[in-house]
């Protein structure tokens, strides 16, 4: 199994535009003859206010946006604003990437929080955020959250089931 970024676009997702200061809420999808049309609401990231209701084809939308959340899990619509729902620093299913120089054999590992107390870190392919298979238990590190808070170089990259998912190795596109 490998952990990959979710590519499918579904109603309720929140996407961040890489080129401007906006967030998009996917309101609907409609299949046309040659493409899928997205109905989206675009919000200004600085004040969370609705800027535009529009539609766009999936191909053009996907190349400029990254998935960051889901309606009623990470964000909610409130008075024509897209508001982020407050989250704890560490929550179950959060995915983290770290760069700690003290691990000489590798300069990058990733982790998924599996309960309220611990963070499991595992080797990662940094280019595409895919877990490598770990058959050797020495490749897995379990850290308590206090240790993580004291270290630098660790940051959240997503939420399992919202921005990332596990897939069978044979389904990975090369």
Q: Tell me the pLDDT tens digit for each residue of 25-54.
A: 999 998 877 788 999 999 999 999 999 999
Exposure string (b/e) for 32-41, b if CB count within 10 Å is 16 or more?
eeeeeebebb
What is the pTM for the complete model shown? 0.75
Q: Tell me the pLDDT tens digit for each residue of 96-143.
A: 776 655 544 445 556 666 665 656 655 544 443 334 443 334 445 566
Where in the chain are the domains?
2-84, 94-169
Q: Which of 131, 134, 140, 137 is CA-nearest to residue 103? A: 140
Q: Which of 85, 87, 96 is CA-nearest to residue 118? A: 96
Q: Tell me the pLDDT tens digit for each residue of 2-26.
A: 778 888 999 999 999 989 989 999 9
* pLDDT computed for residue 104 by the predictor: 42
């Amino acid at each position: 199994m490998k952990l990959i970024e979710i590519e499918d676009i579904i109603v309720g997702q929140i996407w961040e535009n890489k080129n401007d200061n906006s967030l998009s809420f996917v309101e609907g999808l409609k299949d046309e003859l040659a493409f899928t049309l997205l109905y989206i609401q675009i919000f200004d990231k600085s004040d969370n206010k609705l800027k535009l209701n529009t539609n766009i084809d999936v191909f053009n939308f996907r190349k400029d946006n990254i998935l960051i959340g889901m309606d009623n899990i990470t964000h909610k619509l409130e008075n024509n604003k897209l508001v982020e729902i407050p989250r704890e620093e560490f929550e179950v299913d959060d995915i983290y990437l770290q760069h700690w120089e003290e691990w000489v054999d590798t300069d990058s590992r990733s982790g998924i929080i599996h309960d309220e107390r611990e963070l499991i870190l595992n080797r990662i392919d940094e280019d595409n955020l895919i877990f490598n298979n770990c058959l050797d238990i020495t490749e897995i590190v379990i850290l308590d959250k206090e240790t993580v808070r004291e270290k630098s170089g660790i940051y959240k990259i997503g939420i399992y089931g919202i921005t990332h998912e596990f897939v069978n190795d044979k389904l990975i596109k090369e």
